Structure 1
Amino acid sequence: MNAVELFLLGRTLMKIGEQAMPQPKGDGPRGSVRTVLVVLGDVVAHPGTTVSEIAARTGLPQSQVSTAVARLESTGSVEGVPDAADRRRRLIRPAEAPSARVAEVRAATIDDALAAALPDPGPEAVGEVTAALAVLARHLTPEVAARVRAVDAAATAVRSQP
């Protein structure tokens, strides 16, 4: 596998993940599922963070982060609390108790979305792909992505030095 194949596989997996995600109900703020998941992952990794800090770490525009945080707050996934040191700032953290939406998303499986995506949607193929994804998930954790971003940021900083 080369870098392009890996990149395209990642995009395919994101699309399947989006298909497997139960759709939110109601008229709350929308926003890209990818953006919402990136923001949620960052909040879980860095509880008590600000919108601007999330934007800096993820590389997302602050407006997209704000929209994603609003959507996550409306579903009860995260909560914003005033910063005791600076009352003008809001600190975003995972919600204390999982909401009904969080429980719904955690209970969703990928089987139907995988079956719809695979050329052979039989239970054996779905099981084989699910097992392969479990191996990848065990080795390629969110911490790996953070290390990759840190290496990329360091390389960019070195290239920008005169």
Structure 2
Amino acid sequence: MNGVELFLLGRTLTKIGEAAMPEPEGGAARHGGSTRSVLIVASDVAGHPDSAVGEIAARTGLPQSQVSTAVARLRQAGAVVTAADPADRRRLLVRQAPQLSARVAEVRSGTVDEALASALGEHAPEALDEVRRALDVLARHLSPGAATRARP
């Protein structure tokens, strides 16, 4: 596998993951922000607690307005909390919420089986267990922090 193939596989897995997530009550459109940007921001906040929106935008490459929308959606879901920066009261610092909210618990309790089966199509019955096992191996060895270590 080369870098392009790995990148394309990652995009495919991202789309399957998005398909496996339960929609928020009222749908994503009502809440603003794409699922992908919300997940990117949530992942960044998990790795960099007490970050300002501008810092999250710089690390993720997302526009600051998109990060602000994602933070608002995560705050509404109870996944993050914000507080004024003591050094500069104009900035908000974002961190993971200390308690698991009902929405976060709902998202984490779901499985990817249906989305995987759909992506595998006619090959699903034979391949589903094999793909699930392969994903378990990847998850065990490649935590979200692995991407940071892979950057030059």
TM-score, normalization by structure 2: 0.92
Q: Determine which structure has more spread, i.e. the larger CA radius of gyration.
A: 1
What residue number does 1:54 align with? 56
Q: Which amino acid in the other structure matches residue 114 of structure 1? A: L
> Deviations along 1:111-161, whole A, 9 cap, x unmatched?
111011113121x52111011011111222211111233x1xxxxxxxxxx
Q: Which amino acid in the other structure matches residue 124 of structure 2? A: P
Q: Which amino acid in the other structure matches residue 38 of structure 1? A: I
Q: Percent identity?
A: 63
Tell me, in whole angstroms, the C-alpha distance in 1 between the residues paired with 2:59 and 2:149: 12
Q: Which amino acid in the other structure matches residue 44 of structure 2? A: D
What residue number does 2:7 align with? 7
Task: Give the secondary structure class of the aligned counterpart of 1:134.
Answer: helix
What residue number does 2:18 align with? 18
Structure 2 runs not aligned, ≥5 long: none
> Deviations along 1:30-61, whole A, 9 cap, x unmatched?
21111111100010111111100101111111
Tell me the CA shift for residue 98 of structure 1.
Answer: 1.1
TM-score, normalization by structure 1: 0.86
Tell me, in whole angstroms, the C-alpha distance in 2 between the residues paired with 1:45 and 1:66: 17
Tell me, in whole angstroms, the C-alpha distance in 2 between the residues paired with 1:30 and 1:9: 27
Alignment of 1:121 onto 2:124:
yes
> Deviations along 1:54-81, whole A, 9 cap, x unmatched?
0111111111111111111111111111
Alignment root-mean-square deviation, CA: 1.4
Structure with bigger strand share is 2
Aligned residues: 149
Structure 1 runs not aligned, ≥5 long: 152-162
Name whichever of 124-133 and 47-56 sits farther off.
Answer: 124-133
What residue number does 2:83 align with? 81
Tell me, in whole angstroms, the C-alpha distance in 1 between the residues paired with 2:127 and 2:112: 13
What residue number does 2:69 align with? 67
